[in-house]
Structure 1
């Protein structure tokens, strides 16, 4: 899934030169680290704000960061992204935002692998047609740049690894791995709390106990302090969890498992809520249902009118999912007194 943020004020976009046949899919990185810039946030207001104006002599088809895929131009358009007339006319290219932590990189990687695999399917290409900017230069169809290899090397990856991941996604192998052996079954279920995350990071929630599996659609990630019920542990270091009736999987490294759940939690019908009646104040978002729990580090407060998805409740508290293109998706708890149904 991607979001269109077309750079209509960009000179390349206004030129509107048509793309020819698609021969290669180019992987870029902007080489600005340690400056952190996402598609819509960061230094300068994000890449969209930086590039959606006249006088910017470059344009890619989009940017990919840890929050998603953002299209800056349609696939029908020839973009100025590899400094070569033939290459620009026959290649689609995306920039992978250079972020700080391994968890952020993993989300960029996951989003990019899925998107490039989808592009391969759309244009009838094989994974070997996915190449880095530096590889395009070696083929004589691009300017002399080293990206994205320096970015990938910082996290122990390479373009060879990226192509292999795309091929795995294309062949469906990521979904065909045998399930790892169960090492422990919690009966009744144990209690788990998300921990050991770098400040600001979130924990990916997968559809299978494997890092290559797709992220869960309802609960794609959890924040520090979020609580779940733990059902099983596996020999590969993953655990099966229950989140308000949804079964999913996380890496046990980031979960403190304590106690036992007294009963299987009941399902909950999700509904839309809005922060209201704050009287100029802001609403605390906590890691659990009560003032004894700390503030959620990734999203500690809500303002009047902010929207949430209410996904559970306990006593005088609602469990809410907060989604924002800038901060991503996070789960926390807020007082019932300040949330109204919309």
Structure 2
């Protein structure tokens, strides 16, 4: 995951400053053909690029609406995919249009034309990794993840179709998404085998004799080597 942070401090949602205890995660997509993060996140931090229209969401009411999410996933100015956290995770967002705002962390995936398989694969992967990260942080599981249209069917969100107008075009669904998050959580729990401690070897020396005359020492060394102890040697010490 390529996670950055630019909190939308000028948004009225942030100024409201209402805290929540996250009980779930809601996946949204933007509903507009613009995959660039700078459209929604600003001002430019050097990575996003400049939004020449200044219509990002770091304003009181973006487009005259009371909207704000906890994060966006999309393209940086260099074309790489990133996640930008835009609200504290435990702050009440304005994303679900219902009671889900009181319980769910909501993030948006920036849509493109919905047909680019490469872009979809990259943002899908980023979204899975973001959910794994949030599940670990707040003690959630894949079962606590829904999209906006699922939230509507549950009666906790407004009537939106995201993300099921997009995911099936690339062979994915929220069920496959949750399965992938589950796999990510399981992989994160695999213990790393500790390396076996290295212990220094110990050596024990056998001394056969001590001689004041070197010739006698050499004679003994010859006998020992003849007996098969080829590693024997003479060491002089005072």
TM over 0.5: yes
Match of 2:35 among 15, 37, 44: 37
Distance 1:48-1:125 versus aligned 2 partners, 3 A rule: farther
Query: TM-score, with normalisation over the residues of structure 1?
Result: 0.47
Pair 1:50 & 2:48 matched: no
2:108 to 89, 95, 102: 95
Secondary structure (helix, strand or coil) at the match of 1:92 reads: strand
Contact 1:40 1:46 in 2 (8 A): no
**Counterparts in 2 of 1:238-253, with a 5 A limit?**
none
Displacement of 1:171? 1.1
> What TM-score does the superposition give when structure 2 sets the normalisation length?
0.66
* Aligned pairs, number: 171
Work out which structure has the larger RCO, using CA pairs closer than 8 Å and 6 or more positions apart in sequence: 2
How do 1:204-243 residues align onto structure 2 when only pairs under 5 Å count? none
**Kept in 1: contact 2:72–2:109 (CA 8 A):** yes
Which sections of structure 1, spanning at least 5 residues, go unmatched? 176-342
Question: Against the structure 1 CA distance between its residues 139 and 157, is the aligned structure 2 distance closer, same or farther, given a 3 Å change threshold?
Answer: same
Q: How does 1:284-323 map to 2 (within 5 A)?
A: none
- When Rg is computed on C-alpha atoms for both structures, the one with the higher figure is 2
Q: Structure 1 residue aligned with 2:156, among 122, 137, 141?
A: 141
CA drift of 1:49 comes to 4.9
Report the Cα offset of residue 46 of structure 1.
9.1
Bigger strand fraction: 1
**Distance apart, 1:138 and its partner CA:** 1.4
Corresponding residue SS for 1:154: helix
C-alpha offsets along residues 36-69 of structure 1, whole Å, 9 cap, x if unaligned?
2321259x92999521112231000010125111
Which residue of the other structure, out of 40, 56, 71, is the alignment partner of 2:85? 71
Does the aligned pair in 2 maintain the 1:9–1:53 contact within 8 Å?
A: yes
| Cα separation, partners in 2 of 1:46 and 1:78, compared to 1, 3 Å | farther
Question: What value does the CA root-mean-square deviation take over the aligned residues?
Answer: 2.6
